[in-house]
Amino acid sequence: MFYIPVMTIAGSDSGGGAGIQADMKTFSALGCFATSVITAVTAQNTLGVSAIEQLSPEIISSQIRAVMDDIQPRYIKIGMVGNSTSIDVVATTLSGYALDGLVLDPVMVATSGDRLMREDAVFILKERLIPLSTLLTPNIPEAEVLSGQKITHPEDMPCVARRILEYGCKGVLIKGGHLEGVTKQDYLLYKDADGNLRERLFSFDTINTPNTHGTGCTLSSAITAFLAHGYELEQAVMCGREYLHQALISGQDVTLGRGHGPVNHFFNPQKLVKNA
């Protein structure tokens, strides 16, 4: 089971809590063989990001081809791609390979609310990468940027998700963590094998912890891992959400750094994987 190959395409986090590092920990914890394509190197820790160095389009494409031509993962998670050039080269390179699942976590808005992706990059993301995606996993601010609509209540999510689905992805999971309340909700809208629209609302209790660094990366990677294990999309999302929930609970009292620490990726999650 460990030798099911998967790939993450994302930025590197020197603090180890998010990005490539969180993705590879999640893949490994859930019984997959993790391969990686680094799009940018960041200098960051639990307190924030102090520097970012984008890698060239040539080395990004070379990394993808090196892995795909040999190890041949058919399930891919994409996180931070940064700019329009990187997005374009990732989409162009991947289009030459057969994939069974692609989960896109559109890293577009920082926790502070600052935009991390320029308008031209958002346009290329919509045109090139979103149509290749099995599932898009935006948080509230990212879903608002993609749809042009505000989300102030969970009732706003279905309309926003339908608009995002028009860009050509097969499914959208809007993460409701930015909304107020002791109970949070994620909304899934997707097309089934017959092309019918299906929806699912996931409710979960808010966990009181400062250790939330890398939750978006962890969730999208967990969903990718469950898809690679043969789970249908809705079940993969449900199990991915449970994995993140347990990782948050088991790491909520850990002190690591002076800011927002990471979740606990290795809390014995194999029980969540069928035939483990």
Catalytic residue list: 175, 212, 214-217
Range 81-102 burial, b when 16+ CB lie within 10 A, else e? bbbbbbbbbbbebbeeeebebb
Q: Do 37 and 60 touch, CB atoms closer than 8 A?
A: yes
Q: Is 203 exposed, middle or buried (0-12, 13-18, 19+ CB in 10 A)?
A: exposed
Do strands 48-54 and 32-45 pair parallel, antiparallel, or not at all (unpaired)? antiparallel
CB count, 10 Å around CB of 49? Answer: 16
Residue 122 CA to residue 142 CA, distance in Å, equals: 10
Residue 187 CA to residue 137 CA, distance in Å, equals: 10
